[in-house]
Structure 1
C-alpha cells in the first residue's frame, strides 16, 4: 500500500505543483507578482477542500460499514478508481504539451480583466481536482481507511519528492524532461489501475456476484503466496515452506495486483486491460503525430492563404 500511496501522491502533487508553478512564473514574468498571493489563497483553499472531501469520504465509508455494505462500496471505488487512474494518464499525455500555453492564456484574460476572484477560483479548481482524485484513489488502495493511507511513509515521501522535483524543475536544474517523467510514472500508475481492476473482480467473485468459468487457472502459493497468512496455511497443509516470503506477495499484490491463484476472469481482465491501454496509446500517438506533422508543414505559397482558407496545394 505504501508504494501505491507514494506513486499516486507523487503524481498528483507534482501535477498540482507544476500548474501552480506555471501560474506564479507567468505572473512574475509579466510583472503581475501582486496577484501571486491570490494564487496561494486559491491553493490553500483547495487543500482545505480536499481535506474536507477526505473526511466526508471516511464518514460515508463508516456509514456503509455500519450497514454491513462497506464491501460493495469498496468494490465500486476500486473499479471507478481503475478507470480514473487510466483516464488521468491519458489526460496528462494529451495535455502536458499544451498545458503551459493553455494556463497562460487563461491567466492573461484574468490579469487583463483584473479579476482577483477569478484568479482565486481558477487556481482553486485546478488544484482541488488533484486533491479530490487523490482522496478517491487512497480510498481504493487502502480499502477504505483513508486516514491510514495519508499517515504512512508512502504519502509523506510522495509529497516531499514531488515538491523537490518541482523545485528543481522551476530552478532550471531538472535534467529529466517532463515527457520522460510522465512516461515513467504513467507506467506504474497503469499497473496500479490494472491491479485495482483485478482485485475488484476477485471480490465480486468472492461475493458470488460474478461467476467463474475457471475459479483457479494456476496456483503459485508454493512459490509466492499473496500474504504471510497464506504462507502459514501452506506450511500447515504440506509441511513445506513456500519458496518466497508472503511479504513479497503483499508488495506485488499492492503494486501490480498479483494473485497466487487467479480465476480465468482475473487473468483475462488483467491481460485485456494492458492490451486495451496499448491500443489506445498507439492510436493516440498516431493521431498526435499526424497533428504535429500538419502543424509543422511549411507552406509552399504564402498567397495560398485567402480569406482565412488554404488551398489544397499549399502544403508540401
Structure 2
C-alpha cells in the first residue's frame, strides 16, 4: 500500500505543483507578482477542500459499512480507480506538451481583465482535481481506509519528492526531462491500475456475482504464495516451504494485483488490459506522426508558394 501511495501522491502532487509553478513563474516574468498571492490562496483552499472530501468520503464509506454493503463500494471504487488512473496517464502524456502554453494563455486573459477571482478559482480547481483523484485512489488501495494512506510514509514521501522535483525543475537545475519522469511513473501507475482491475474481478468471483470457467489456471503457491497464511498452509500440507516468503506475495498483490492462483477471467482481464493499452499507445503515436507529417507538408507547401511569388 505504501509504495502505491507514494507513486500516486508523487504524480498528483507533482502535476498540481507544476501547474501552480508555471502560473507563478509566468506572473513573475511579466512583472505581475502582485497576483501570486491569489494563486496560492486558491491552491490552499483546494488543499482544505480535498481534506474535506476525504472526510466526507470516509463518512459515506462508514455508512455503507454499517449497512453491510461496503464490499460493493470497494469493488466499484477499484474499477473506477483503474479507469481514472489509466486516463490520468494518457491525459498527461497528451497535454503535457501544451500545458505551459495553455496555462499562460489563461493568465494573460485574467491579467488583462484584472480578474482576480478567476485566478483564485483556476488554481483552486487545478489543485482540487488532483486532491479529489488522490482521495479516490487512496480509497481503492486501502479498501476505504483513506486516513491510513494519508498518514503513512508512502504519501508523505510522495509529497516530499514531488516538492523537491518541482523545486529543482523551476530552479533550472533539473537534468532529467519531466517527460521521462512521467513515462517511468506512468508505467508503474498502469501496473497499479491493472492490479486494481484484477482484484475487483477476483472479489466479484469470491462473492459469486460472476462465475469462472476455470477457477485456477495455475498454482504458484510453491514459488510465491500471495499471503503468509498461504505460506503456512503450504508448509503444513506439503512438508516443504515455498521458495519465497508470503510477505513478498502480499507486497506484490497490493502493488500489482499478484495472484498465486488466478482464475481464467483474471488472466484474460490482466492480459487484455495491457493489449488495450498497447493499442491505445500505438494509435496515439500513429496519430501524432500523421499530424507532424501533415504539418511539415503544409510548411513545405507554404515555402514553395512563397518562393514562387518572389
User: Is TM more than 0.5 here?
Assistant: yes
Q: Shift of the alpha carbon at 1:302?
A: 5.3
The answer to which of 190-199 and 231-240 deviates more is 231-240
Confirm or deny that 1:295 pairs with 2:300. Answer: no
Q: How do 1:108-119 residues align onto structure 2 when only pairs under 5 Å count?
A: 108-119=108-119
Confirm or deny that 1:194 pairs with 2:194. Answer: yes
Confirm or deny that 1:124 pairs with 2:124. Answer: yes
| Alignment partner, residue 284 of structure 1 | 284
The answer to which of 254-263 and 188-197 deviates more is 254-263
Q: For residues 203-242 of structure 1, what are the alpha-carbon distances to aligned partners after superposition, in whole Å with 9 as ceiling and x for unaligned? A: 0000000110000000111110111111112122222211
| Alpha-carbon spacing, 1:28–1:260, altered in 2? closer, same or farther (3 Å) | same
| Alignment partner, residue 43 of structure 2 | 43
Q: How do 1:1-316 residues align onto structure 2 when only pairs under 5 Å count?
A: 1-297=1-297, 298-301=299-302
- SS of the equivalent of 2:225 reads coil
Q: For residues 158-184 of structure 1, what are the alpha-carbon distances to aligned partners after superposition, in whole Å with 9 as ceiling and x for unaligned? A: 000011001010011111111111110
- SS of the equivalent of 1:278 reads helix
Q: Shift of the alpha carbon at 1:143?
A: 0.7
Please give the alpha-carbon distance, in whole angstroms, between the structure 2 residues aligned to 1:301 and 1:230: 69
- SS of the equivalent of 2:262 reads coil
Q: For residues 230-259 of structure 1, what are the alpha-carbon distances to aligned partners after superposition, in whole Å with 9 as ceiling and x for unaligned? A: 111212222221110011101111121110
- SS of the equivalent of 2:123 reads helix
- SS of the equivalent of 1:242 reads coil
Q: For residues 252-305 of structure 1, what are the alpha-carbon distances to aligned partners after superposition, in whole Å with 9 as ceiling and x for unaligned? A: 111211100000000000000000001001101111122223334433445959
Q: For residues 15-71 of structure 1, what are the alpha-carbon distances to aligned partners after superposition, in whole Å with 9 as ceiling and x for unaligned? A: 001000000000000001000000000000000010011001101111101101000
Please give the alpha-carbon distance, in whole angstroms, between the structure 2 residues aligned to 1:266 and 1:301: 54
| Alignment partner, residue 308 of structure 1 | none
Please give the alpha-carbon distance, in whole angstroms, between the structure 2 residues aligned to 1:51 and 1:6: 18
- SS of the equivalent of 1:97 reads helix
Count of residues in Structure 1 that have an aligned counterpart in Structure 2: 306
| Alignment partner, residue 310 of structure 1 | none
Please give the alpha-carbon distance, in whole angstroms, between the structure 2 residues aligned to 1:47 and 1:121: 13
Unpaired runs of 5+ residues, structure 2, are none
| Alpha-carbon spacing, 1:93–1:304, altered in 2? closer, same or farther (3 Å) | same
Q: Give TM-score, length-normalised by structure 2.
A: 0.96
| Alpha-carbon spacing, 1:154–1:301, altered in 2? closer, same or farther (3 Å) | closer
Higher fraction of helix? 2
